[in-house]
Amino acid sequence: MHQTSSRLLRMTDDDRPFTRDFKDLFSTLIVSLPLSTHRFRFKTYPFSFASEEAINNLGSLKFSQSNRMPDPKDPSRIVTTTTTTTFSMAKEMARSVCQRFMDARFIELADGKSMPVFPLKGCLWQLTPKGIHILERFCQRNGIQQEHVLKLLNSPYNTMRLVILERDPKTDKLSQDKFTTEVLFRRFVGTTPNVKASTSISDNDSVSDYQDGVTGVKLADSRKIYDKVIKMSFTGKCAVDWLLDCCTTVERAETYEVCTMFVQHGLIQSVLEDRVYIQQNPAGKDFQPTKNAVYIITDKGKRVAGWLEAERVSLGERSTDGTINSTARSNSAVRNHSPRGHTDQRETNTTRLQAILNDPALRLLYREFLRETVCEENLTFYLDVTAFNENFNSLDLSKPDAVRETLAAAYGLYNAFLAPGSPCELNIDHPLRQDMASRMTRAVARDDTSMYTSLKEVAALFDRAQSQVFKLMAGDSVPKFIRTQKYIEVAGDILDDERLASGGSMHRSASRGAR
């Protein structure tokens, strides 16, 4: 079985490649490169590549994903299902794409110097920790086993734990609600302040502090601004550097949006504006991404980060004289709360999971929890099938290529998650696995009508698999997730806001411990 797909990068309304397509293109390029040791100016650089190699390979990229399995009807016969994706582009376009990879902080000059423009030749490049993390996720999903890639992923250079930002699947825009912003903010500042002894250390261009994605933005212990000494401050440029290096964002403009949200939600505030920047960019009044703009973390930001302990007490926890009844505190209301919905003591894990999947902030936390418990593939598959179904249901049957592309995507999903021995093989029941193998190893006719019929059969099987994975998450990981402190805190914040919105001045519920 062989399905081919010639990919065009999906573009957003503001003429930016969809983030997932962009990361897949980058990873496909890196897999195609030798990543060998190069000698440059009397030094050697492992896992490096030249500008010319990247540009030439982008001119004609091909990525194949295969899976070999016994034929369900005849175990002595081995059937191979393969999907091949190709990219092709002119040399100048290839250089422009490499420029975007550099701007997104996927790659950097091997000698550590900076360069504003990606050159056609003459420079040596290495992957950043961010680029390695993106490559690792791609290889895990697609079962990449090339030796030169595995050596890089198993090397000491692989140190990053990126924040996977939540996006709208149709527009690719970042989720900007209050709670998602606060979850990201906690990662941005870290569990403890990353304080540097001097402004020269905190403001330098080195990003060695951001190798793991867990350490927060660099803060100057004290900074003199006019006649005042400001404690624990950071520049706009430092904020942008952290977000570019530690999140899945691929555009500087997106980092400006995130920092603007931090300001608007009262998590950080300006202590020194860059008025020149504001004059040139009036939209940057709230946040300026420069070395001349200085910010501090507000008391609210410190409470959200867990640096300061805050109490939240419900009406039910107050005695008749208005004092706090400390023994009445309980997190049960939070655990039984359906975010963005209503409180229901009879709520099931199924409804909790649906609420988590529908809420960007909780979905981000849930993904990180699943990553820590080594079962993130369940959520990834569930969301990928949802996206696949949306694409399938909106197919334009007058375009034969659309059916062929969607069928190729289906084989890609199957080879990644459902085929025997696949890299992210899911735990589904045996009858469904047999039905899947039988359908996916059966020949697909080349005429359009038969191809669409095959696609409908595959989509129905994916629905069955998605339903099983949903039940597995609801029964296994959700009960553990809702007991975590992070879930309790965020779900409690959502509950508090909904109560305030419906009851005006209602007191806050549940107690918040140090994070």
**Confidence at residue 67, expressed as pLDDT on a 0 to 100 scale:** 55
145 and 223 housed in the same domain: no
State whether 219 and 120 are in the same domain. Answer: no
Q: How much is the CA Rg of the chain, to the nearest whole Å?
A: 25
275 contacts 244 by C-beta, under 8 angstroms: no
Q: What is the distance of C-alpha 321 from the center of its chain?
A: 48
pLDDT at 465 over 80: yes
Residue 508 lies in a domain: no
Whether residues 476 and 394 share a domain: the answer is: yes
The residue type at 90? A
Residue 4 within any structural domain of the chain = no
Instruction: Say if residue 355 is in the same domain as residue 419.
Output: yes
Q: How does the average pLDDT of the chain come out, rounded?
A: 83
Task: Please tell me the predicted confidence (pLDDT) of residue 483.
Answer: 93
Give pTM, 2 decimals.
Answer: 0.80
Q: pLDDT confidence of 90, banded at 50, 70, 90?
A: confident
DSSP symbol at 426: -
Let me know if residue 163 belongs to a domain: no
Look up residue 460 and give its two tokens. Answer: 């129905």
Residues 216 and 268 in one domain: yes
Domain containing residue 88: CATH number:
1.10.10
**Nearest-angstrom CA–CA distance, 124 and 111:** 8
Q: Is the pLDDT of residue 347 over 80?
A: no
**Domain final position from 251, 271, 305:** 305
User: What is the separation, in whole angstroms, between the first and last Cα of the chain?
Assistant: 51
Strand, coil or helix: what is 396?
coil
Judged against a pLDDT cut of 50, whether residue 265 lies above it is answered with yes
Cβ atoms 510, 333 nearer than 8 A: yes
Q: Do 24 and 142 reside in the same domain of the chain?
A: yes
Among 116, 138, 154, which residue terminates a domain?
A: 154
Q: What residues pair up with 83 in beta bridges, in sequence order?
A: 3, 65
Whether residue 317 lies inside any domain: the answer is no
Same domain? 67 vs 141: yes
The confidence score (pLDDT) of residue 63 equals 62
Residue 271: its H or E element:
strand 268-272
CATH number at residue 403: 1.10.167.10
Examine the domain organization and report whether 191 and 125 are in the same domain. no
* pLDDT top residue among 360 and 86: 360
Q: Could you tell me the CATH number of the domain that includes residue 190?
A: 1.10.10.10
Q: Say yes or no: 115 and 50 in one domain.
A: yes
**Domains held by the chain: number:** 3
pLDDT, residue 46, reads 95
Residue 344, SS3 per DSSP: coil
- Listed residues 282, 305, 328: the one ending a domain: 305
Instruction: Establish if 484 belongs to a structural domain.
Output: yes
Q: Distance between CA 134 and CA 132 in Å, rounded?
A: 5
What is the domain extent for residue 209?
178-305
pLDDT of residue 321: 40
* Within a domain: 389: yes
**Same domain as 354, residue 474:** yes
Residues 39 and 106 in one domain: yes
* 113, part of any domain: yes
Do 149 and 209 fall into the same domain? no
Report the alpha-carbon distance of residue 495 to residue 515 in Å, rounded.
Answer: 18
Is the C-alpha dihedral spanning 370, 372, 373, 374 positive or negative?
Answer: positive
